[in-house]
Every structure is written in structure tokens, then in C-alpha cells.
Structure 1
Amino acid sequence: MLTSSPQTDKEPRKVAAVHPAVKSLAGSIGGVAEACACQPIDVIKTRLQLDKVNMYHGIWNCGKQIIEQEGVRSLWKGLTPFATHLTLKYALRMGTNAFYQSLLRDKDNKLSDGRRMAAGFAAGITEALIIVTPFEVVKIRLQQQHGQDKAMLKYKGPVHAAVTIVRQDGPLGLWAGAAPTVMRNGTNQMCLFWAKNNFDRLFFDKIEGDGRQLQPWQSMLSGFSAACIGPCATGPFDVIKTRLMAQEKGEGPVRYRGLLDALVRIPREEGLLALWRGLLPRLMRIPPGQAIVWAVSDQITGYFERRHWDKDPELAQQA
């Protein structure tokens, strides 16, 4: 059940908008929880996307081989950059989305579906360029390494990997695969924020800013459902991003020259479905991860939203 609402009508005349800083805080806390829970699936997804010789025969086989050959801890390879990345990413995502929404709201503080999608797309582009691309380059370089003996590994850890990439490929090496990352994140966040708002309304008659607070399980259900759309729509961008980020320029000519070259070569050489490699582990990781993030962030934003209702005389008159 939703907590009691100061507004009995389905559509409030006015709604309360939570400050972007609150959204950032809520997103960062949710990101920490997601990273720790979902890292093994992300490692498996990356290995499957980089597997050009069919070394792994599905998700469970890939996980089993990693554990047998490299130990259980290898399923958390790249956790430090991944957790840092998610914390900063969600803080930036939630905050910038709230900021862009504030610019696009009408005089009654309402937001159309089209403008909500535009705000989500802009937030996705922002996070892709500032946070996601450099952190994912480091994470993928660490995850693609096989073995446990650090002395035999090219990259000894996140900082060493970042320094080595900059030294080998130049500063822009940390932004390898930026174009497909922008397309992936922009499209994904456009779908996510639009779908989350509509699933909240469809499942629980919850309207953003109406002063009601979802229960954690309700946030998890609508967040999980909303997050299933993006991976299906952005699968090719994610595969291409991973391939471009894994390339090391210091070891001879690169295989893919960019987004369009990879978009043509991958299906030509490996079949069209290769563009959706790793989709199942993405669906196993992203929707549960988003369920965790929204369960945490909705509680925080709901609390401040409710306080806004209690303090604003104009909103209180609608109760």
C-alpha cells in the first residue's frame, strides 16, 4: 500500500518537485547497493561480449569457468571502478534528470511524456560523457584479463589501468567507445525515466510529486519492469561499446575503426544476433539492479517530497 496522500484526486492540480541534489544523494546510495549485488553478472556479461571463439557456452558455463580457472573472487573483478562508477553515475543521472525536468516543466510544474523522455535522453548523454565512458573503459580492461597472478596481468588495478591506458593511447583512450556509449545511455535513460513514471502510475496510481510514498517492494516492481525495456533497445550499442573499449591501440592496428565500422563488421562476420550478445546477462543484471536503486532512492525522494507537501501552503490546500 502507498502511504497516505495529501491529495485524493488521481491527478493533482500541482505537484512538488524534489531538489536535484536530493535526487543525486538518493541515486548515489542506491548505486552502492546495486554494485555489490550485481557485479558477478556484469563480469559474465563482459566476458560473453568479448568471446569471439565461443569459449563460453552460456551464462552458467561462463560463470563456472571463471570460478574454476580464476577463483570466486574473480566474479568481482573491477568492483572498485564499478562501484565508484555506479555511485557517481546514479548521482549524476538522477540529479541531471531532475535538473533537465525542471527546465521542461510547465507553469503548473507538470511534465509531458515527450519532455520526460527528452530530459532522460539528455541525462543519459551527460552521464555517458562525464562518468560512464572512462570508468567502463577501465572496468572492461580489467574484466577481460584472465588469470589470478597479478604479476602476469597487464593491468594491476584500476589506477594502474587508467595510467597505462593514458600512457599507451593518450588521454582520449579513456573515452574509447564514447559514441555508442552516448547512444546507449541516452536511449536507455529516455526509456527508463519514462517507463518508471508510467509503471508507477499504471501499477499503483502514483504520480511523481503527488506527496505519496511507494513501499520498497512497489518501487522494486515498477523499477524492474521499466529497466527491461532499455537493454533490448540498446543491445547493439552495448556490444559495440564493449568491443571498442577493449581495443588496445598499442598492440597494432585496431579491429574496429568506430561505431559505424563495428555496426557493419560484427553482423557480417558473426551474424546479426551477435549485436545482442550478452543480452540475457544484461537482463539478469540491469532490471534487478534498477529494482534495488529505485527501492532505495524512492524512499529518500519520497520522504523529501512528503515534507515539501507538508510545508507548502498551496499544495496543502489541495489536501
Structure 2
Amino acid sequence: MAAKRKDPALYTLTAGSIAGAIEATITYPTEFVKTQLQLQDGSKGSARKGASAPKGPIDILVTTVRTQGVTAVYRGLSAMVIGNTAKAGVRFFAFDQFKYLLRDSEGKTTGYRSVLAGLGAGMTEAILVVTPSETIKTKLIHDGNSPNPQYRGLVHGVKSIVKAEGLGGIYRGVIPVMARQGANSAVRFGVYSSLNDLVKARLTPGETVPAAYTFGIGAIAGIVTVYTTMPLDVIKTKMQGLNAKQLYNGVFDCAWKVFKNEGILSFWSGATPRLARLSVKHNNTVE
């Protein structure tokens, strides 16, 4: 019997890039809400100081649409689409290469090898693509909360950020981004592969995994990924806000201030919209 054809790297890269762009456009409102939840002041006692109480996902969405129009919830979309297009392509390409390098004597990549391949893919995409696109997206969204926004779209925003902060300005939060992407890929690919292997072990030779099982495996992997990596996502967003340079002196300082000022539960701010976004993605993909 002829061996199963392996898709060329270029095909994988192109397919992943197109899928990433489409996914980003469809799910962006949930990303917008998640970022707003993480950027808002949720500090303890904020209500006592006269500040507005932290808002929930629905309240943020409804208020934004009512006061600024529907297009406001797509602020920063261009940065996300460009980033996702490149990110998805890099991820699938990198994961395939790491899987090839880490295959065992039987040519398979299972167990911890799959986790390592996912980790390598996540770290690669974080360095090459994710950090700058996430920083620009976050700053554009945060800027929209100002009475007088200073960024007039993606190009002007990038120019302004680089002019004011140098190239380092679009690489804010690179450490938590790398940690999040690596953990995202390692956890989801690892959980997905492990559960998939368990199911396959109970099937007869040649039998394919039922669609319901595939959906369930993907859902479980997504939930585990979101809740285990959420603190990294929150720290990442905090460090990419407009005033982050003045507020935080590194990752640990940011984490400590979030814990001290906002409480432990704030590390899971935006988990619901993030999970909603992840639930519509393909079962074996991650953020």
C-alpha cells in the first residue's frame, strides 16, 4: 500500500495563514472584550475611591457599541489579522518541523515529544510574530479608551509607537508572550495528542476517531489550555498597555502589582471571552 502523502511545507504554511486570517476576523469581538477586561482597573477598593467598578464582558460590548458604534469593537483588527496570518503559518510550519526532528524510531511523535514540538512551535511564533502584533493590537485598543485617541489606524499607530519608544515599543511583554505561546502550544498539543492516542488505542485497526470524540477532545484541550495559561495572558496584556513602561519594572513586578492591587482572581480576567474564541477554532489549533 502506498505511503500516505505528506503535505508540502508551503501548502501547510499557506493553509495555516489563510485559516488564521479568517479566524481572527470572525472572532475578533471576543478578543476585543478580553483585552478590555484585562486593561480595565480592577483594583481592590477602586469603587471606594470613586472609580467605576470593573465591567463584565456583555457590559463592555454593549457600552462600546452604544457609545462608539459597531466598528469600535474591531479596533486593532488589522494588527490581529496580519499577526494571525503570519502566526498560523509559522506555527504549523514550525510544529511540522519540530515533529519531524523529534520523531521516535517508528517515525511517530507522541507523548512528551508532541509536547516539546508544541513548545518549540509556540516559542518560535512568539519571537517572530506574536509579540509585535499583540503589542500593537493592545495599544490600539487601549488608545481607543482615551477621550482623545492619538492613533489614526494601524500604520499611524505603529509609526507613533516606534517614534516614541523605538522598536522596543512594539516588543513590550516579549517574555510573557513567549511563555504564554509556549505553554499554549505545549498544553493544548500535549493534551489533545494524549487524549487522541487514548481514544485510538480503543479502536479497531483502521477505524477512524468519531467526530463527536474529536470535538470533545478539542474542547477539553481548549478548556485546560485557557485556564492554565490565563495568568500569562493577563500579564502580557498589562505589560503592553499604553502606560506599562511607567507602571511595571518587568514581568515579576507586573505580576506582583496585579496580585497586590487587584487580587488573585484578576489573573483570570477575560477567561470567558478567550474560551469563547478558542471554542470556534479548529480542534488542534491554539492561540
Contact 1:118 1:190 in 2 (8 A): yes
Match of 1:73 among 71, 74, 91: 71
1:266 partner amino acid: V
Structure 2 match to 1:29:
18
When structure 1 is superposed on structure 2, of 22-31 and 127-136 the one drifting more is 22-31
Structure 2 match to 1:264:
256
CA pair 278-181 structure 1, distance change in 2 beyond 3 A: same
Match of 2:180 among 179, 184, 191: 184
For residue 86 of structure 1, report the CA deviation from its aligned partner.
1.0
For residue 204 of structure 1, report the CA deviation from its aligned partner.
6.5
For residue 28 of structure 1, report the CA deviation from its aligned partner.
1.5
CA pair 194-16 structure 1, distance change in 2 beyond 3 A: farther
Contact 2:192 2:221 in 1 (8 A): yes
Structure 2 match to 1:236:
231
CA pair 147-280 structure 1, distance change in 2 beyond 3 A: closer
**Identical counterparts, % of pairs:** 28
**Structure 1 CA distance, aligned partners of 2:191 and 2:86?**
23
**Structure 1 CA distance, aligned partners of 2:270 and 2:212?**
27
1:23 partner amino acid: T
Work out the number of aligned pairs and report it.
276
1:49 partner amino acid: Q
Contact 1:70 1:147 in 2 (8 A): no
Q: Which has the larger radius of gyration?
A: 1
CA pair 167-214 structure 1, distance change in 2 beyond 3 A: farther
**Structure 2 CA distance, aligned partners of 1:202 and 1:163?**
50
* Cα deviation 1:266-315 (Å, max 9, x = unaligned): 11111111111111111111222344969xxxxxxxxxxxxxxxxxxxxx
- State whether structure 2 residue 246 is matched by structure 1 residue 278: no
CA pair 88-211 structure 1, distance change in 2 beyond 3 A: farther
CA pair 171-63 structure 1, distance change in 2 beyond 3 A: same
TM-score, scaled relative to structure 1: 0.77
When structure 1 is superposed on structure 2, of 96-105 and 109-118 the one drifting more is 109-118
Contact 1:32 1:86 in 2 (8 A): yes
CA pair 153-137 structure 1, distance change in 2 beyond 3 A: same
Between 1 and 2, higher relative CO (CA 8 Å, sep ≥ 6) is seen in: 1
For residue 62 of structure 1, report the CA deviation from its aligned partner.
1.0
* Cα deviation 1:13-37 (Å, max 9, x = unaligned): x976544433322322221221121
**Structure 2 CA distance, aligned partners of 1:211 and 1:96?**
29
Aligned Cα RMSD in Å?
A: 3.0
Structure 1 match to 2:161:
165
**Structure 2 CA distance, aligned partners of 1:257 and 1:122?**
27
SS of residue paired to 2:109 = coil
CA pair 293-192 structure 1, distance change in 2 beyond 3 A: closer
Unaligned runs of at least 5 residues, structure 1: 1-5, 8-13, 295-319
Unaligned runs of at least 5 residues, structure 2: 43-51
**Structure 1 CA distance, aligned partners of 2:174 and 2:83?**
15
**Structure 1 CA distance, aligned partners of 2:213 and 2:159?**
43
CA pair 52-202 structure 1, distance change in 2 beyond 3 A: same
* Cα deviation 1:172-193 (Å, max 9, x = unaligned): 1111000000000000000121
Structure 1 match to 2:47:
none
For residue 220 of structure 1, report the CA deviation from its aligned partner.
5.0
Match of 2:192 among 196, 199, 212: 196
Structure 1 match to 2:84:
86
CA pair 153-214 structure 1, distance change in 2 beyond 3 A: farther
SS of residue paired to 1:254 = helix
SS of residue paired to 1:187 = helix
For residue 195 of structure 1, report the CA deviation from its aligned partner.
2.3
* Cα deviation 1:97-117 (Å, max 9, x = unaligned): 110110011232112311110
Contact 1:224 1:290 in 2 (8 A): no
Which runs of structure 2 are paired with 1:293-308 in the superposition (5 Å)? none
Match of 1:255 among 226, 232, 247: 247
CA pair 175-211 structure 1, distance change in 2 beyond 3 A: farther
Contact 2:114 2:193 in 1 (8 A): no
CA pair 211-81 structure 1, distance change in 2 beyond 3 A: farther
Contact 1:40 1:76 in 2 (8 A): yes
Contact 1:34 1:293 in 2 (8 A): no
When structure 1 is superposed on structure 2, of 186-195 and 220-229 the one drifting more is 220-229
- State whether structure 2 residue 240 is matched by structure 1 residue 245: yes
